[in-house]
Amino acid sequence: MKKNLFAILPAWIVLACSSPEPAVDYTKLTDEQRLEAAREIAQSTIMVDGHVDLPYRMKVGGFTLQREILDVSVRTPDGNFDYPRAKEGGLDAPFMSIYIPAGNQATPGASKALADSLILMTERLTEAFPDKFAMAYSPADIEANFSKGLISLPMGMENGAGIEDDLGNVAYFHKRGIRYITLTHGKDNLIGDASYDTTGTHGGLSEFGEKVVAEMNRVGIMVDLSHVSDNTFKDALAITKVPVIASHSSVRKFTPGFERNMSDELIQAMAKNGGVMMINFGGSFIDSAYAAGSTKVREHIVNWLAENNLSRTDSTAQIYIQEYSAKNNPFPTVQRVADHIDHVKNLVGIDYVGLGSDFDGVGDSLPTGLKDVSMFPNLIAELLKRGYSRDDIEKICYKNIFRVWEAVEDYASGQN
């Protein structure tokens, strides 16, 4: 079980956490006191992250049970997720992204095969370290694992291409443990159009995609509308019988013209549907100035490496890249992530926003103060500073996504 921190915490935190109404005005605390309170909240509250790209990172890193290459049961020198850092940050249920690159779509069977292999890899992680990780297929599973002090590994498939052209694969992946499917990824697929693709193959959802959404409702898989085009988004909302999610998307107001993020119109439509938007932490997702600066920095570094006959892995190059990037395009901060949460709350209410970091999936673009899973308390502290209550924080951390997930489960139980 998680430690009983009440025995060692200052009296003002214990009072605030035990009272029906907060006895402490978090906005009037010092930054140090607020961070202390945030750490307690993170440790005592279930925290769900809608999107962590650990399985693909393990695949690239050469996952083995012999711990020879990548062992996330211990602190790792790179990446954003491992067991010790997750425990430090209070992260209890990171959705493991079963990521299917758009390039796999060109080869029949390749997407489903990759999905199967990444699911197996995630399962093997819990088998190798049963004292640290456990699979989770429902909110009830996460609550049970939380009570045992285990980190739950629910799974979502990023890119519906894994379904291939067989509607029966929707039920198949539900049996394999997939609890959300991101309908598209980088390119249009058989289901619908993607935000990063300008082809507009179907003008939104395809006829097959409409059947996929209906079948996901029937079997109990959440419909994830991150990565889809605006038209696909609207089509899916028109068909679904249950609330939907955006597992790792941010607010387009802060990144004008970036269709991958959600417009106010889409945020309002998702809230009307009862869904939840889980905020992506990636620098290019949360700040348009950083995104533009990244392009310029990237071009400069490519030219500099060529001129100096160096690769990115050279120690000299790494030092230069870090120093040049910090000087010419400083990272956004944790405050910017809070701005996105603020925007959703102010636009549609606290019941429709959650956390979808995209850790291990957005490279080194993460904001200062949110570089890995150990740093979630920094975000909670910033929200407390802005006047969010403990109940607000709990909704963001898990109650909102649990509400949607349970609604999807309830509908499916009535269909089968």
pLDDT on residue 397: 98
Are residues 85 and 79 in contact, defined by beta-carbon separation less than 8 angstroms?
no
Q: Return the SS3 of 198.
A: coil
CB burial of 18-28 (b: ≥16 within 10 Å; e: otherwise) equals eeeeeebebee
pLDDT on residue 249: 98
**Hunting for tokens 């050469």 — which residue is that?**
62
Residue 255 lies in a domain: yes
Are residues 177 and 135 in contact, defined by beta-carbon separation less than 8 angstroms?
yes
pLDDT on residue 266: 98
pLDDT on residue 70: 73
Report whether pLDDT(375) > 80: yes
pLDDT tens digits, residue range 33-80? 999 999 999 999 999 999 999 999 988 876 544 444 578 999 998 899
Structural domain count, the chain:
1
Residue 397 lies in a domain: yes
Residue 358 lies in a domain: yes
pLDDT on residue 289: 87
Residue 327 lies in a domain: no
Report whether pLDDT(10) > 80: no
Domain interval for residue 60? 46-287+332-415
> Mean pLDDT, to the nearest integer, of 11-24?
54
Report whether pLDDT(2) > 50: no
Write the Ramachandran bin of 227: left for phi over 0, alpha for psi from -120 to 50, otherwise beta. Answer: left
pTM, two decimals, is: 0.90
CATH of the domain at 214: 3.20.20.140
Q: What distance in Å separates the CA atoms of residue 391 and residue 21, rounded to the nearest whole number?
A: 9
Residue 310 lies in a domain: no
Residue 390 lies in a domain: yes
Percent of the chain with pLDDT over 70: 92
Residue 18 lies in a domain: no
The region of weakest confidence among 127-136, 138-147, 242-251, 329-338 is: 329-338
User: What is the rounded average pLDDT for all residues in the chain?
Assistant: 92
Are residues 160 and 181 in contact, defined by beta-carbon separation less than 8 angstroms?
yes
Numbers of helices and strands, H then E, in the chain: 17, 10
pLDDT tens digits, residue range 186-243? 999 999 999 999 999 999 999 999 999 999 999 999 999 999 999 999 999 999 999 9
The region of weakest confidence among 4-13, 86-95, 278-287, 312-321 is: 4-13
> Mean pLDDT, to the nearest integer, of 147-167?
98
pLDDT tens digits, residue range 283-329? 999 999 888 877 787 888 889 899 999 888 888 888 888 888 778 76
Q: What distance in Å separates the CA atoms of residue 254 and residue 215, rounded to the nearest whole number?
A: 34
Residue 196 lies in a domain: yes
